[in-house]
Chain A
C-alpha cells in the first residue's frame, strides 16, 4: 500500500511539472517554488501552493491551471490549497530555474541577504549583470517592471533594456 501511495505522489509531482507560470512560460510551478507540497489520503489528492506576491494576478490563473491539469490527467478527488505558513522567497527557485530565466532574457534573482540593516542600506543599489551580454555596466530604471516580481534595468554595453527578477 505504501509503495503505491509513494508512486501516486510522484505521479502528481510529474503532472505539476507540466504546469508553467503564465507570466514566465519557461518555468514550471515546481521550479518557481510555488508548488509546495502534495499529500494523499486514500484517493484524495491535496496540492499546496504558495502565492509569490500579494498582488500577483497570476495566482488565480495558476490555481485554475493546476485544477485543469489534474482533471486532464484523470484525477477526480482533489483539492488545491493555498499555504501561507511559510513566506515565499526567490531562494526557493531552483538553480536550474535561474539558468532558464537568464536564457529567457530575465536576470535571475541572487540569493537573498539578511536585511537587518534595511534602513541603512536603503539607498544602495546592487549591480545586476545583463542577462544578454553579461556586462556589469547596467543601471536600474525602475523598481517595478511589467509584473510585481520584476524590476526594469538598462544595459549600457549592449544598449538593451532587460528585466531583473527581484529577490525577496
Chain B
C-alpha cells in the first residue's frame, strides 16, 4: 500500500468521524428534551429529530469502522472513545439551554448541514453517497422545523423574542468552527468525497441573515471572538459530562447484547 492510499484512507476515517460525532452528540443533547418539551408536538418533534441524528451517526460510524478496517463497529466509536478523541463541534455539545437555545443552535447546524450535504450528495464513493442522500432528505425537515420556530419565536411575544435573541447572541461565538478546514478536508475534496465548506459560506450567511431579519432579530457580530479547536479534540467541559451519561451503561456492561 502506498503512503498516498494510506493518507486518503485516514482522512476518510477522520472525515466520517467528524460528521458522525457532531450528530451523535447533538442527537444525545436533543434527546434530553424527551418528556420535557414545551408542548406535546414539540416533545415528539425533538425526539424524532434526535432519533434521526443518532441514526445518521450510527450509519457513519459503521462505515468509518469499515474504512478503518480494524474490526471495530459503530458502537465502538460511540461508547469506547474518550472526550479528547471526539471531534464534534463545540456547538453540538453545549447544554440544551431553553427551547430558544435548542432551536437557535439547531437552525444554525441544520442549515449548515443542508449546504454541506448538497455538495456531498455527489460524492464519488457509492456507499457514502447513498447515506448522504438519505440523510439529506431528513435534514430538510429539521431545517424547516427549526426555521419555522426561529420565525415564530423571534416575531412572537416580547419574552420569546428576547429569549431567541439571547440564544443567538450566546451561540454565535461557536459558528465559525463550522467552516474550519484542514488537510483532512483538502484530501477529501481532492478525492471527490469532500465538501468545500467555504464555497457556500457567503450563501449560508445570507440565508441565516435573511431568516433572522424576517424574524425581527438582530444579527450578532460575525467578527466577534470565535471559538476553535474542537476538530482536533479540544472541547468544553460539557462534552465529558454528556459522554459520562451516554457511555456509562455500555462501559459497565461491555458484553451486554440486546439480542
Taking Cβ atoms with an 8 Å cutoff, the residues of A that contact B are 51, 53-57, 84-88, 115, 118-119, 122-123, 141-148, 152, 166, 168
* A54 touching B59, Cβ below 8 Å: yes
A83 to chain B, nearest CB (A): 9
Q: Which residue from chain B places its CB closest to the CB of A166 in the assembled complex?
A: B141
B residues in contact with A147, CB < 8 Å = 48
Q: Which residue from chain A places its CB closest to the CB of B27 in the assembled complex?
A: A55
* A144 touching B45, Cβ below 8 Å: yes
> What are 11 inter-chain pairs, A to B, with CB distance below 8 A?
A54-B55, A55-B51, A55-B53, A55-B55, A88-B134, A118-B140, A143-B45, A143-B144, A144-B49, A147-B48, A168-B138
Taking Cβ atoms with an 8 Å cutoff, the residues of B that contact A are 41-42, 44-45, 48-56, 58-59, 114, 126-127, 130-131, 133-135, 137-138, 140-141, 143-145, 147-148, 151, 207
* A141 touching B134, Cβ below 8 Å: no
* B140 touching A55, Cβ below 8 Å: no
Smallest CB-CB A-B distances: 8 pairs: A55-B51, A54-B55, A55-B55, A142-B41, A144-B45, A144-B48, A55-B52, A168-B137
A-B pairs with CB below 8 Å: how many? Answer: 78
Determine the main DSSP class of B at the interface with A: helix
* B41 touching A152, Cβ below 8 Å: yes
B68 to chain A, nearest CB (A): 19
How many angstroms between the C-alpha atoms of A120 and B129 in the bound complex? 24
A40 to chain B, nearest CB (A): 25
Q: Which residue from chain B places its CB closest to the CB of A167 in the assembled complex?
A: B137
* A57 touching B45, Cβ below 8 Å: no
B118 to chain A, nearest CB (A): 9
* A141 touching B140, Cβ below 8 Å: no
How many angstroms between the C-alpha atoms of A118 and B138 in the bound complex? 13
